[in-house]
A and B are shown apart, each in its own frame.
Chain A
Amino acid sequence: MLDGYEMTVGLEIHVQLDTDTKIFCGCKNEFGAEPNHHTCPICLGLPGTLPVLNEKAVEYIVKAGLALNCEINTFSKFDRKNYFYADLPKAYQISQFDLPFCEDGHVMIQLEDETEMKIGITRIHLEEDAGKLNHAGEGIASSDSSLVDYNRVGTPLIEIVSEPDIHSPEQAIAYLKKIKSILEYIGVSDCDMSQGSMRADVNISVAPTGSDELGTRTELKNMNSFKAIEKALKYEPKRQIKVLESGGEIIQGTLTWDDEAGKTIPMRSKEEAHDYRYFPEPDLVPVIVEQEWVDGIEDSLPELPDARQKRYVEELGIPEYDAMVITADREMADFFEAVVKEHNDAKAISNWIMGDFSRLLNEESITIAEVKFKPADLAQMLKLMDEGTISSKIAKTVFEEMFATGKNPDTIVEEKGLKQISDTSELEKIIDQVIADNQSALEDYRGGNKNVFGFFIGQTMKATRGKANPGMVNKILKEKLEG
């Protein structure tokens, strides 16, 4: 795709942890409250206040580290990252510099060609989130004033730093989705990108294929949609190659992604980059965690997507791809398994989940938690199909009705009169009528044009509003048409 060049992508994924309270004070960790409602002297950084570490945040990052196959540092510490900005009340962020909680992890990703790939994770560290600025104008520079909302200050944040193992937009997205999936599984974050609880800084560089060294990189900060990241990753390497091919040089620096224009725009160059003057946070003592405690967390981890996918393929016999898609979303997989418990045809269930169910979720843009019908309803619907009470075509109608109203399939079939017509004499009567109404088609058929058989099937289904048992219609029609 990139003739003669290879791209390398580094991702720093920021994920807000779903703790009840903030990382260093007792304020509620909650999105969407009135501005500055969830604040106190500590998270506002008022003179004299001190941070006290929320143990739950440590538990969550250790959980994340274990789920992402990291080594857990039982001795860890916090450092101050110093920089001035109006959303940062202390003018430093409490973060971790040289002793993060987690190091040296990895995840496996699957690509469309069904190959597997290992993406390394350099480290995961814990830090506090900053506040939010609302500028009166376009940006901070062009605004007469800006308002600051400190609700988000002190939200526990983990930063997951990848190794330079990613070399295509597809790999990057698969990696991001895998991280999101795993963190949702272990329940440490809702990873809701639209609310900013998951966002990524993306480093991009290109180098001639086979080169040992990475090229000069540019960085896109605070990307919060997979689509935008994918588009940017398709655009930026080509731009860099163009610059290099025309004898130019890549300038290391931060870019912003203009989604409308579909291109990257330079923000600031390295010359203006911060010297963060990291030093150990004197207001917090180093964190020492017991190995036993870490082991306990490891034991409590739920079955993760990879293991679940493997089990679905091996034990339930569903296709690899279906298993991957279903297990990527914990809620989806939980739903799937709940149906499997009630009905033994996993393949049929997976077809429905992958097909109409996913389509409707998408169309209505709702989550699984918001779905009106129960897993048992889907199982019951499949049972009605197996029993021949409804045809697969009618099932589609029943399913849509279930999705729209939450009614159970028996009620729907009953109310709408959707029961399949499998009564031979009834069907014969209907088919006789259809043939009687279409004499010229009958002649065609008997004249050797077998293609009109489909026409008769269609007419019969129309006459029964789709309720006719397709197998029986086929059989009876054949007999009658052959005469």
Chain B
Amino acid sequence: MELYQLTAHQLHEKLVNKEVTAREITESIYNRIEAVEKDVKAYITLTKEDALKQADKVDEKIANGEEIAPLAGIPIAIKDNMSTEGVKTTCASQILHNYKPPYDATVIKKLVAEDYIMVGKTNMDEFAMGSSTENSGFSKTANPWDLTRVPGGSSGGSAAAVAAGEAIISLGSDTGGSIRQPAAFCGVVGLKPTYGLVSRYGLVAFASSLDQIGPFSKDITDCAIALNYIAGHDEFDSTSANREVPDYTASLNQDIAGMKIGVPSEYFGDGIDQEVKDAVWAAIKKLEELGAEYEEVSLPHTDYALSAYYLIAPAEASSNLARYDGVRYGLRSEEAKGLVEMYKNTRQEGFGDEVKRRIMLGTYALSSGYYDAYYKKAQKVRTLVKQDFDKAFEKYDVLISPTTPTTSFKAGAKKDPLEMYLSDICTIPINLAGIPALSMPCGLDSNGLPIGLQIMGNHFGEEKILQVAHAFEQATDFHKKQASL
């Protein structure tokens, strides 16, 4: 096994035992990048020089006999919508092609305090709008399992980086499935935490009431370790929850006997691939073998979630993205005469089609005379969706469903935006409700592509999710399968 193939907890042990150095780990990652990045295109920016310097610092600490944190010396990739001081943060948009922030996002500050090693900034759908990473303003990322297919999105670069061995862990953001769907497509673990568990300060906003940062990893233990270090109250984020953060690794290895699993029937409808359904059901049976009980349950407002999402998210986005006007940073159109023309040309040149589409949708939904019919109504639907989950969690510890209706599709296959939107149908309701959900591999389809299992928990129910996920992982070996690149 090469170092880039290991997990963070395995590497940590090797570091502590002085079997390897952080420099060796980091070099292994960059060698891997050298070998596969031309095909995968997971990154927008690589920060090798700083990474090696940082690795040497960690090695020095180890040499000095200092105790190191679990993520110290671990190469981690960051989605390019998280603010990194002095390192370009583009959101994969031409409008921010040259933007270098003067500050670190809170999650970055926390990782820096851990002595993590930033490998680089990963590719994504522009401003996190998309489900295939084909909407990047710079390049398209490929799925490491099949380079002709998409890695999912919007955090496709972060998912692909971990799947291809170009990072040990990565951070993504999830507004409607942008962590879980690419995790499913790339055969890795991806967690969208409870809204408010991880600070959004420094995460470039797409839809503020839905966005949440979370980790990608190769296994559940790494997921728990990463969550330990990014979760927690932040005085710079008014929507971050002010509550004690538990040690998420403590819930691993606990028996799941007697746990109650709900299986929402709406997530196994006609639009879901049979192979995907079969794999998820097999996983549920496996959990039953491990002592959990399951029952089918109905979440009756599921069907309306997608429509509500596509009003709320674009509405917030239309406002969040208004600041890219060419006045202060990023792209400024050179052609324009006068202020209004500068706005128009800059935004015309800087934004891609999907971003423009959503800005227009959102602007329309908020316009006077339409607000009640669209935005307000969507918020009411959101409340109903949330109530469905609240009711279900009165009875069940976790809910289980497929993460995506299908496995990864061919690049360029989904030309119709609506068709693309449907690939998030199993993940979107979770964001509307603000609850946590994790995707992990639970098999391969007949094309040899990973299938994702989605485990949802109640608000701040990450421990139960991790407990179930870990039990499943220990009883199976899907997580050991790696893309043969």
Contacts and interface: CB of A to CB of B under 8 A. Distances in A.
Nearest to A81: B319
Contact of B103 (A41, A45, A52, A283): A41
B201 A48 contact: yes
B328 interface: yes
B133 interface: no
B103 A46 contact: yes
Given A86-B339, A282-B316, A46 B105 contact: no
Interface in B316-336: 316, 318-319, 322-323, 325, 327-329
Interface string B67-83: 00000000000000111
Contacts of B203: 48
Interface string B98-111: 01011101000000
A84 B102 CA distance: 24
A49 interface: yes
Interface residues of A, number: 30
Contacts of B338: 141
B319 A47 contact: no
B98 to A, nearest CB: 13
B102 A46 contact: yes
A278 B339 CA distance: 23
A47 B323 contact: yes
Contacts of A82: 318-319, 322, 366
B254 interface: no
Contact of A284 (B89, B235, B238): B238
A197 B203 CA distance: 34
Given A86-B327, A141-B338, A48 B105 contact: yes
A279 B367 contact: no
Contacts of B316: 279, 282
Contacts of B363: 277
Nearest to B209: A282
Contacts of A282: 207-209, 239, 316
A360 interface: no
Contacts of A141: 338
A47 B83 contact: yes
A86 B327 CA distance: 7
Contacts of B318: 82, 277
B205 interface: yes
A89 B325 CA distance: 9
B99 A47 contact: yes
A285 interface: yes
Contacts of B205: 47-48, 283
B201 A285 contact: no
A195 B210 CA distance: 41
A47 B322 contact: no
Nearest to A83: B322
A84 B326 CA distance: 11
Given A140-B339, A279-B371, A47 B204 contact: yes
A341 B254 CA distance: 78
Contacts of A89: 323, 327-328
Interface in A126-161: 140-141, 148
A402 to B, nearest CB: 53
Contacts of A52: 235-238
Given A275-B367, A279-B371, A47 B91 contact: yes
Given A46-B329, A47-B99, A48-B105, A91 B323 contact: yes
Given A41-B102, A47-B89, A50-B238, A283 B328 contact: no
Contacts of B315: 279
Residue among B102, B203, B328, B343 facing the most chain A CB atoms (10 A cut-off): B328
Q: Is the interface of B mostly helix, strand, loop or mixed?
A: loop
Contacts of A44: 328
B156 interface: no
Nearest to B82: A48
Interface in B328-358: 328-329, 338-339, 343
A51 interface: yes
Contacts of A48: 81-83, 89, 101, 105, 200-205
Contacts of B322: 82, 84, 90-92
Contacts of B200: 48, 50
A77 B200 CA distance: 20
Given A48-B83, A52-B236, A41 B339 contact: no
Interface in A248-286: 275, 277-279, 282-285
B320 to A, nearest CB: 9
B366 A277 contact: yes
B142 interface: no
Interface in A33-50: 41, 44-50
B375 interface: yes
Contacts of B238: 50-53, 283-285
B337 to A, nearest CB: 10
A41 B327 contact: no
Given A46-B102, A50-B237, A277-B366, A90 B323 contact: yes
A53 B239 CA distance: 11
A80 interface: yes
Interface string B116-137: 0000000000000000000000
A50 B236 contact: yes
A80 B81 CA distance: 22
B329 to A, nearest CB: 7
A269 to B, nearest CB: 17
Residue among A46, A50, A141 facing the most chain B CB atoms (10 A cut-off): A50
A135 B375 CA distance: 38
Contacts of A285: 238-239
Contacts of A46: 83, 101-103, 329
Contacts of A275: 367-368
B235 to A, nearest CB: 7
B102 to A, nearest CB: 6
B189 interface: no
Contacts of B366: 82, 277-279
B96 interface: yes
A249 to B, nearest CB: 24
A84 B235 contact: no
B367 A49 contact: no
B370 to A, nearest CB: 10
Given A48-B83, A141-B338, A279-B375, A84 B101 contact: no
A122 to B, nearest CB: 20
A282 B202 CA distance: 15
A47 B368 contact: no
Interface string A49-75: 111110000000000000000000000
Contacts of B91: 47
Interface in B158-208: 200-205, 207-208
Contact of A50 (B201, B319, B325, B368): B201
Given A91-B323, A92-B319, A283-B239, A47 B101 contact: yes
A277 B316 CA distance: 11
A277 B371 CA distance: 8
A260 to B, nearest CB: 27
B468 to A, nearest CB: 31
Contacts of B375: 279
A141 B337 CA distance: 10
Contacts of B102: 41, 46
14 contacts: A46-B102, A46-B103, A47-B96, A47-B101, A48-B81, A48-B201, A49-B103, A52-B237, A84-B325, A89-B328, A277-B318, A282-B316, A283-B205, A285-B238
Interface of B: 81-83, 89, 91, 96, 99, 101-103, 105, 200-205, 207-209, 235-239, 315-316, 318-319, 322-323, 325, 327-329, 338-339, 343, 363, 366-368, 371, 375
- What 5 A-B pairs have minimum CB-CB distances, sorted nearest first? A91-B322, A282-B208, A277-B366, A282-B209, A47-B204
